Amino acid sequence: MRSSTSLLLSSFMCLSLACLMCALLSGCSLSSTAGPTPEAGMAISGSVHGAQSPIMGAQVYLLAANTTGYGNASSSLLTTGSGSGTLGEYVTTNSSGGFSITGDYMCTANTQVYLYALGGTQGGIANSAAGLLAVLGNCPGGSSAFAAGTPFIAVNEVSTVAAAYAFAGFATDALHVSSSGTALAKTGIANAFANSANLAGISTGVALATTPAGNGTVPQSEINSLANILAACVNSNGAVNGPSSPTPCYTLFTNALSGGTTGTQPTDTATAAINIAHNPGSHVANLYALSTATPPFGPALGGQPNDFTIALNFTGGGLSSPIGIAIDGSGDVWAANAGIADSVSELSSAGVAISPSTGFTGGGLDFPQAVAIDGSGNAWVTNERSSAGVNGGNGSVTELSSSGTPTSGSPYTGGGLNVPAGLAIDGSGNAWVADNNADAVSKFNSGGTAQSGAGGYTGGGLGAPYDIAIDGSGDAWAVNSATNSVSELSNSGTPISSSSGYTGGGINTSFAIALDGSGDAWLTNAYGNSISKFAHGGGAISPSSGYTGGGLNGPYGGIAIDGAGSVWAANYYGGNGSVSEFSSSGSAISPSTSYVGGSLNGSNGVAIDGSGDVWVTEDGGGGGVAEFIGAATPVITPIAAGLPATPTANGTSSLGTRP
């Protein structure tokens, strides 16, 4: 939580139209290459409106995300303005809501900038609770782009929703947007800020229906409804009176607590929007009721939604009934297309198709199932089938370079492969494969040479293993779909679990497994509508029925751990597909109806990126991928990057931690 309203004054940062076009429109991933010399910023102009009416006298602050540690205060950039308050220098809006920043700030490359407007009056009525946001995005150095023109920024409730959800994974409140200083964290926060441009127009403040690249569908009506919820408070005198005859701000603030149903009450609408993004399943009915009186933004929802997650659906790049999904170190999304496509698709962190319309092909891709990214950014893919004569028709493993080109020698065969399904990369770059038809697992080194024998590694209770994961000790954990058990093998393939595997904990036809930073294993139970948890060493932690609730409904597909240790599971059933979220202690966080969105038709694989977005493959119907914006806590990507270089004795690692 915010410990002080004081912000650090800073003299670093720049804004150029070229960088805005890159970060806001293209959604490109930007590396941290800051130069040592700050440069003068370019001029910025814009307007601040609440409920479509101008706000006069609002204090407009130019803020930068802090990269010295999570939870730290954002930095105030202005060195001079029309006034100075506890937040630093600000400029004031005129009678038409307009403002201008004439370059009275300095900047260094690759920091993330946003505007925060506080207070002001509408029609002579002051409202100190009106807080509005707008993302400006990444700021690379160099003065050559300054001549490109002056960006115009529309600040309103729609831009506030777009900003709040885009950087929710890094925000404690409107004044505390921050990350660590690692390269992965800076990439994650840059990608997060860029996501705002997929939700609303930077110069118009209008919710989008389609992403700028044209291949993503945006829930425009939901964004407008969220904006209307904020507008009910913004378009008032800001009084927080209740519970009898509650004012709009009272209803908003008491139903947008920092912890959903518990925690701190916000004092401005921008922080309320961030809290809603953090707790999208809380108080949905009460919040939605605020949007229906005199909604200024449309089209809006015609009825109360299931939850307030904002989920986009992306197609293109060859996406066709994708199953497995993985995130690389740049935040790009890789999906394995089973069925007739026999390809792999890659999207940028903003959902822009990188792979061609046919996807990446070749290298023996044949009904691909799982995908995992190694330390070099290469994608490893399991092929459930192979033509007769290639590994006897028993399947293979394909390796694609970071540019999608099959590597030399691909596909890889041998090592006991027999209908390979799940795949994981260990801390040394070895690829481990679950052989679903062989009661075995296979291991390949980083060059594709089989390390396991002709029959693979066996024992430890392996029985039709379907998915596999690696812990901090380098041990391989395989979930057995046929025997309601999980097996553990050492990094050399020696069984650690008994001949019956680890049992109990509610295992009931499991198809997916993930390891957390404590070395504990999490499994989905397709027929139990539950998830199970086992400690390093095999003891069941979850009860005999598993952890239930949270809308779990046929979790056949993926399971993933976010940077807070929360567990995400994809539900194949339940209408059009959905995802469920649980805490690290097994308590349901998502509502009883789960989180629904992104036009999902059969949720399958799930992955968390370094910006806190949840990506879900759609195995049926349209066959795209959904992105739940800012719904999770950012996590180290790829998964293998969370494993230690030197194995730990107790299986601990940086899996499921923030970058």
What is the rounded CA–CA span in Å between residue 365 and residue 268?
A: 52
Q: Tens digit of pLDDT for each residue in 573-585? A: 755 679 999 999 9
Question: Does residue 17 register a pLDDT over 80?
Answer: no
pLDDT band at 18 (very low <50, low <70, confident <90, very high): very low
What is the rounded CA–CA span in Å between residue 297 and residue 157?
A: 9
Question: Does residue 198 register a pLDDT over 60?
Answer: yes
Q: Tens digit of pLDDT for each residue in 345-372? A: 999 999 999 999 999 999 999 999 999 9
What is the rounded CA–CA span in Å between residue 17 and residue 27?
A: 14
Q: What is the DSSP string of 457-471?
A: B--TT--SEEEEEE-
Contact by Cβ (8 Å): 520, 656: no
Q: How far is CA 293 from CA 209, 234, 248, in A?
A: 23, 14, 11
Q: What is the DSSP string of 387-398?
A: -TTSGGGS-EEE
Contact by Cβ (8 Å): 609, 191: yes
Q: Tens digit of pLDDT for each residue in 445-459? A: 999 999 999 999 999
The pLDDT value given to residue 44 = 87
| Percentage above 70 pLDDT, the chain | 90
The pLDDT value given to residue 21 = 33
User: Residue 57 CA to chain centroid, in angstroms?
Assistant: 36
The pLDDT value given to residue 620 = 64
The pLDDT value given to residue 439 = 95
243, two tokens: 């519970």
The pLDDT value given to residue 317 = 96
Q: Tens digit of pLDDT for each residue in 262-314? A: 999 999 999 999 999 999 999 999 999 999 888 999 999 999 999 999 999 99
300, two tokens: 């809006």
Q: Tens digit of pLDDT for each residue in 555-574? A: 988 999 999 999 999 998 75
Angle at which helix 220-234 crosses helix 157-166, to 10 degrees, equals 120
What residues form DSSP beta bridges with 346? Answer: 334
- Span 424-451, mean pLDDT? 97
Question: Does residue 179 register a pLDDT over 70?
Answer: yes
**What percent helix, strand, coil does the chain show, rounded to 5?**
15, 30, 55
> What structural domains does the chain harbor?
1-308 (no CATH), 311-642 (2.130.10.10)
Q: Which of 35-44, 528-537, 635-644 has the lowest mean pLDDT?
A: 35-44
What is the rounded CA–CA span in Å between residue 150 and residue 163?
A: 21
- Which 3-state string (H, E, C) describes 17-49? HHHHHHHHHHCCCCCCCCCCCCEECCCEEEEEE
pLDDT band at 215 (very low <50, low <70, confident <90, very high): very high
pLDDT band at 174 (very low <50, low <70, confident <90, very high): very high
Question: Does residue 220 register a pLDDT over 60?
Answer: yes
Contact by Cβ (8 Å): 643, 427: yes
The pLDDT value given to residue 3 = 34
What is the rounded CA–CA span in Å between residue 364 and residue 252?
A: 55
Mean pLDDT of the chain: 90
- Span 513-538, mean pLDDT? 96
The pLDDT value given to residue 147 = 31
Q: Tens digit of pLDDT for each residue in 586-607? A: 999 999 999 999 888 778 899 9
Question: Does residue 4 register a pLDDT over 70?
Answer: no
Q: How far is CA 510 from CA 56, 146, 529, 555, 651, in A?
A: 58, 56, 10, 9, 22
pLDDT band at 392 (very low <50, low <70, confident <90, very high): low
The pLDDT value given to residue 11 = 28
Pick the closest to residue 62 from 155, 189, 190 (CA basis). Answer: 155
Question: Does residue 146 register a pLDDT over 80?
Answer: no
pLDDT band at 338 (very low <50, low <70, confident <90, very high): confident
List Cβ neighbours of 299 (8 Å cut-off, separation of 6 or more).
220, 221, 224
Q: Checking phi first, is residue 364 left (phi over 0); if not, alpha (psi -120 to 50) or beta? A: left
What is the rounded CA–CA span in Å between residue 392 and residue 442?
A: 16
What residues form DSSP beta bridges with 177? Answer: 171
What is the rounded CA–CA span in Å between residue 467 and residue 475?
A: 14
Determine the straight-line distance between the first and last CA of the chain, rounded to whole angstroms.
20
Pick the closest to residue 193 from 132, 138, 131 (CA basis). Answer: 138
- Span 529-556, mean pLDDT? 96
Q: Tens digit of pLDDT for each residue in 611-648? A: 999 999 987 656 799 999 999 999 999 999 999 999 99
Contact by Cβ (8 Å): 116, 17: no
- Span 514-518, mean pLDDT? 98
Give the H/E segment covering residue 525. Answer: strand 521-525
Q: How many CB atoms lie within 10 A of CB 162?
A: 31
Contact by Cβ (8 Å): 164, 274: yes
Pick the closest to residue 519 from 500, 545, 538 (CA basis). Answer: 538
Question: Does residue 2 register a pLDDT over 50?
Answer: no
Q: Which of 18-27, 170-179, 344-353, 615-624 has the lowest mean pLDDT?
A: 18-27
- Span 174-202, mean pLDDT? 96
- Span 133-145, mean pLDDT? 63
Q: Checking phi first, is residue 349 left (phi over 0); if not, alpha (psi -120 to 50) or beta? A: alpha
What is the rounded CA–CA span in Å between residue 34 and residue 63?
A: 18
Return the higher-pLDDT residue of 42 and 26.
42
Question: Does residue 545 register a pLDDT over 80?
Answer: yes
The pLDDT value given to residue 175 = 97
Rounded to 5 degrees, φ, ψ at 609 are -105, 180
List the beta strands (DSSP E) in 536-640. Answer: 559-561, 567-571, 578-582, 603-608, 614-618, 625-628
Q: Tens digit of pLDDT for each residue in 97-111? A: 999 988 788 777 778
Question: Does residue 411 register a pLDDT over 70?
Answer: yes
Using omega within 30 degrees of 0 as the cis cutoff, is the peptide bond preceding 151 cis? Answer: no
